[in-house]
Amino acid sequence: MPRGFVSFAEVKQAVTMEAVLTRYGLFAVLAQKGKNLVGSCPFCKGKSPRQFQVNLVKNAWYCFGCKAGGNVLDFVAKSESVSVRTAALRLDSWFALGLGEETPRPAPAAVPAEPPQAREEEAPRENPPLTFTLKTLDPHHESLASLGLGAATIERFGAGYCTKGLLKGRLAIPIHNGRGELVAYAGLAVEEGETPRYLFPPNFHPALEVFNLDRLAEFVHEDGPLYLVPEIEGVLRLADMGVAPVIGLFDGSLSPEQEEAISGAVSLYDKLVLVGEGFPERTVAHLARHIAVSWISHPRSESLPEEEP
């Protein structure tokens, strides 16, 4: 364990993601899209060519596959399998920053050093990928008219009216995990007042997923905030209004897994805009720990993308 004190903030300010990626030989292999770099993930080695993204302006990175992300310190800590503190000292040394001090400053007793591997060692709970797909979903079915969604939007999400099985008589909406694997279909009621509004398969855990997160990779090169809605229907509604990127929770509540996934993804954005009612205070408070949050209660298609808090 290296000795000495080094300020994380000073190291972060002194070293860019570009410099770190160059040192690892990764800068040249990532594709540049506006202010972002995209490519396959150096950690999980996922197959998606857009899974791993770097925001060069914010000096942040995130992988939509393994959901790892953060700043330059987190990147080096993960690459070298060391603590964030050791990563800071290595960056100090690699780039000759001269920020480290020989004598450790007395650390505040209330802030114990966090073992970086602690979280990763917990067995991740996951929804297993489905072994089938629903092939007869009809995005143009007349029963869907009451939802007021465009058929093109419904089709774009791979959704459609379901005529048999558990979701019979509902709009079946495929749900993918962060790696883009299909893990469930949600059944949205199409009639006003029909309950329950959503049906999920009995073994599916919505609290482990963030709806549409896997598709953020398609939009991250665009400027602007990330939008979050409390339920998956809202994602389709905003998409119908031409708003992207947008992700959705399932009932407005935020599990630790969802918070972690969103906190990673938002590192690429400047702001998170909550759209709609149905966000408990706790959800808003937890999200605000990671990014500037504003809240639009009643979306209007003409005002939404430009609206400020």
The contact set with Zn ion (CB under 5 A) reads 41, 43-44, 63, 65-66
Nearer to Zn ion, 245 or 264 (CB): 264
Q: Work out how close the CB of 45 gets to Zn ion at its nearest, in angstroms, rounded to a whole number.
A: 7
Torsion sign over Cα 12, 52, 32, 30: positive
Nearer to Zn ion, 41 or 228 (CB): 41
| Amino acid found at 214 | D
Q: Work out how close the CB of 230 gets to Zn ion at its nearest, in angstroms, rounded to a whole number.
A: 27
Residue in the block written with tokens 């994380």: 8
Q: Work out how close the CB of 67 gets to Zn ion at its nearest, in angstroms, rounded to a whole number.
A: 7
Nearer to Zn ion, 24 or 94 (CB): 24
Q: Work out how close the CB of 248 gets to Zn ion at its nearest, in angstroms, rounded to a whole number.
A: 22
Nearest alpha-carbon partner for 65 in 81, 46, 43: 46
Nearer to Zn ion, 6 or 41 (CB): 41
Nearer to Zn ion, 65 or 299 (CB): 65
Residue 3 near residue 104, CB atoms below 8 Å: yes
Helix, strand and coil percent figures for the chain, each rounded to 5: 30, 20, 50
Q: Work out how close the CB of 51 gets to Zn ion at its nearest, in angstroms, rounded to a whole number.
A: 6
Q: Work out how close the CB of 65 gets to Zn ion at its nearest, in angstroms, rounded to a whole number.
A: 4
Residue 90 near residue 1, CB atoms below 8 Å: no
H or E element that contains 296 = strand 292-296
N-to-C CA span, the chain: 46
The torsion angles phi and psi of 15, rounded to 5 degrees, stand at -115, 130
Residue 247 near residue 265, CB atoms below 8 Å: yes
Token representation of residue 49: 């060519």
Q: Work out how close the CB of 252 gets to Zn ion at its nearest, in angstroms, rounded to a whole number.
A: 28
Token representation of residue 92: 């100090």
Nearer to Zn ion, 69 or 174 (CB): 69
Nearer to Zn ion, 65 or 276 (CB): 65
